[in-house]
Amino acid sequence: MGISYLKNNQKVKHKHIIQKKMKLNIALLAGDGIGPEVINQAVKVCDAVAKKFNHEISWTSAITGACAIDAVGEPYPDATHEICMAADAILFGAIGDPKYDNDPKAPVRPEQGLLLMRKKLGLFANVRPTFTFPSLIDKSPLKRERIEGTDLIILRELTGGIYFGERGRKDNGNTAFDTCTYTREEIVRLAKLGFEMAMKRSGKLCCVDKANVLESSRLWRETVQSMEKDYPEVTVSYEFVDAVAMRLVQWPSSYDVMITENLFGDILTDEASVISGSMGLMPSASIGLHTSLFEPIHGSYPQAAGKDIANPLATVLSAAMMFEDAFGLKEEAELIRAVVNKSLAEGIVTEDLAGDNKAYKTSEVGDWLAKNI
């Protein structure tokens, strides 16, 4: 995979050099809500990059989420899974629809498709970078002096924990339970990624748990402690999740690479996303056993669907992660990031970032980015 996610200004060390002029086979899962609109802009940018560097991209579209339920009755159909398995990487939009959100008794939900996709593709690690943009630092709800220099990665375990444990109802439906279960193997797999990333960055790793209360967290801490001897150049700290939730908004720049279990990671990554000033800016990757998936961290934002107002930059930056980490194409990734920074600096942005200045349409931002590649 050759994941780098280096700190700013560090040089890249790829484990292997991948030849230029590549044929890239990418599955395209636009999903629901604003998903198709933001995905379309990322495709424009990717195609412009491919043309510039003489790559050939083969896009294969597939349905997932609410649109898949409406079409075939299930949120992650077998046909979609086959397309994903055959792809070198997956570029994904968003999942979710209010008609399911507002019905607690709905037998099938779009989000089940996401969980099924993670399980079937073996997507065990969600990689969430959080960083600030110089031109937008004052748009953050946090004070400049608290967030300046923030450049961290949260590695969230994706296929274990309470989301996949035994669950049910008893006492005639009046008592509900969800079980948080982890195996040592699942923890080792994620922690190994965390140690490797820390070695490529500042050599700091933080394991986030609740080991003072939860048995599953004690297994996390015990397992990570047993791995420390294999990575002597990495300094490991252990913090309780409630303390981290406070420190993330007080002093986010003190963190570098963080590893944590599924539920804690779900919450902390959303908390961290506000640091940059907009959820519409943050990309993510899900690293898998069979393939890897790249997606913006925002949801389907159904209120904006079809209005051409959604911010496509997180999806475009997710495509940059895809070029670098699925294909080892660092130069192409850096070019995408540079043109995104240019659009922010020049005010070619959607309404969420425009303030009192002109707001550009989603499609206009995509066209501008592709033209400036």
Would you name the residues annotated as active-site residues? Answer: 163, 210, 242, 266, 270
On whether the CB atoms of residues 233 and 219 are closer than 8 A, the answer is no
Q: CA nearest 291: which of 81, 110, 128?
A: 81
Q: CA nearest 153: which of 234, 247, 246, 252?
A: 252
* DSSP conformation letters of 20-66: SS-EEEEEEEEESTTHHHHHHHHHHHHHHHHHHHT-EEEEEE---TH
- CA–CA separation, 293 vs 291, rounded Å? 7
Going by the DSSP 8-state scheme, the letter that residue 7 receives in this structure is P
- CA–CA separation, 59 vs 30, rounded Å? 12
- The two tokens of residue 107 are 């037998």
Residue 10 DSSP SS3: coil
On whether the CB atoms of residues 115 and 162 are closer than 8 A, the answer is no
